[in-house]
Amino acid sequence: MTATEMRRSKRFYFTVVAVVVLIPLALFVRTFLPAPLPMPQPYAGPVPSANPPKELAVFAVVTGVNHRDAAFGYRGGSLFERREFAMAATLVRHPKGDLLIDTGFGRGIDRQFRTMPLLFRTITFYSLWQPAVDQLNAAGYDPKSLHAILLTHSHWDHVSGLPDFPGIPVWVTEREREFIRKSGIMDFCKLFAGIRYEEYGFEGGPYLGFPASHDVYGDGSIVVVPASGHTPGSVIVFVTLANGTRYAFVGDLVYQLEGITLREERSWFVRRSGADEDAEGNRENMLRVIALKERLPELIIVPAHDMRGFDKLPKLSAVVQPSVARAAGQGQPSSHR
C-alpha cells in the first residue's frame, strides 16, 4: 500500500468513526441542552372561588432523597450540579377527612428496590430518612386516622409506603388503576397485596385551565385535575387554604421547578428511560401549568421531587392531631367508590 493509499484509508476510517460514533454522540448530548417550550399566553379563564375550612392545613413529610444532578431534572441542567430529589408525602388535614398525597419511601424500600431493573439500580442512589408512617407516629398523629391516600401517580417512589398503611383507602383514577394492573417496570404495586384501591372520576367542570376536575369535599379546598402524560392517570392536586394560599402538587409533571420557570422538559434520554408514557400529553399539561403560573404568580408549585417546593410547606410537629370530623367517622366523598 502506497503512502497516498494509507492516508486515504485513514481518512476513510476517521470518517466512519465520525459518522458511527461522534455524530450520534453529539446528537445525544444535544438532547441535554436548553430547549425552552414556547411561552403560552397567561391563563385567562375564571379562578374558582373556594370556601376552605379554617382548620385546613398541609405538612411536608419528606421520607428521603434520590441523589441526582440537575441534568436529570430538566434540559439545560448541569451534570455537575448535584440535586437531592425529594422522596416525599404531604399530609393534608381537613375536617371532613385527612389525606396523604403520595407516600414517598416506605419501610420496605430496600427490599422493593432490589426488584427494579439492573440498569436503573446501577444509576440510582437513594437515602431513606424516615418513612411517612414513622414520621406521623413521632408527631403524635395516628396513621389510622387518615381518610385516604391520594396518589399523584403509581411509580415506585410514590407508592413505596402503601403497605405501611394497611386498610387505608388508596384513591386513584380509573386510568391509573388500569396502569397499576399492567405493572410496569417502574411500579412496586405488583409486590403489594391487600391494597384497598378506590377509583374516582372527574365529574366537575373545567378548573384553572384543565378540562375537568374533582372537588374532593365540595368546598373548593382540595381539587384534583387529570394530568396524563407521565403516566396515563397522573393528576395534579390543588389545595387552597383559608388564608388564600394556593398550592399545586404537580407530581412528576416536572421533576424540578425549572420545568415550569424555564419551561424545560426532561431530556430525551430521561424520557426514553421510562419517565413519560406520553411525552406530548405531559408537554401539554406543562404548558397549562406555565400559563396558570403567569396568571397566578403567587401559586406555590410543588413538584414531587423538588426540595424547594417542600421547603415552602410547614413541617410536622408534635402538636399535629387528626382532624375532628375524621375521628368521628364523617366526610366520605360521594364520588369515591
What are the tens digits of pLDDT across the range 112-136?
999 998 988 999 999 999 999 999 9
Which percentage of the chain shows pLDDT scores above 70? 84
What are the tens digits of pLDDT across the range 160-202?
999 999 999 999 999 999 999 987 777 888 889 999 999 999 9
What are the tens digits of pLDDT across the range 31-66?
768 999 999 999 999 999 999 999 999 999 999 999
User: If you count DSSP H runs as helices and E runs as strands, how many of each does the chain have, helices first?
Assistant: 13, 12
Q: How far apart are CA 207 and CA 320, in angstroms?
A: 31
- In the chain, the domains with their CATH numbers are 57-321 (3.60.15.10)
Which percentage of the chain shows pLDDT scores above 90? 76
What is the band of 328 on the pLDDT scale with cuts at 50, 70, 90? very low
**Residue type for position 308:** R
Whether residue 197 contacts residue 144, with contact meaning beta carbons closer than 8 Å, is answered with no
| CA count, 13 A, side-chain hemisphere, 8 | 5
pTM for the model stands at 0.88
Say yes or no to pLDDT of 271 above 50. Answer: yes
Residue 64, SS3? strand
SS3 content of the chain, % helix, strand, coil (to 5): 30, 20, 45
What are the tens digits of pLDDT across the range 136-154?
999 999 999 999 999 999 9
pLDDT of residue 223: 98
Residue located via cell numbers 420557570:
261
Say yes or no to pLDDT of 327 above 60. Answer: no
Neighbour tally for 140: CB within 10 Å:
13
Whether residue 87 contacts residue 66, with contact meaning beta carbons closer than 8 Å, is answered with yes
8's grid cell: 486515504
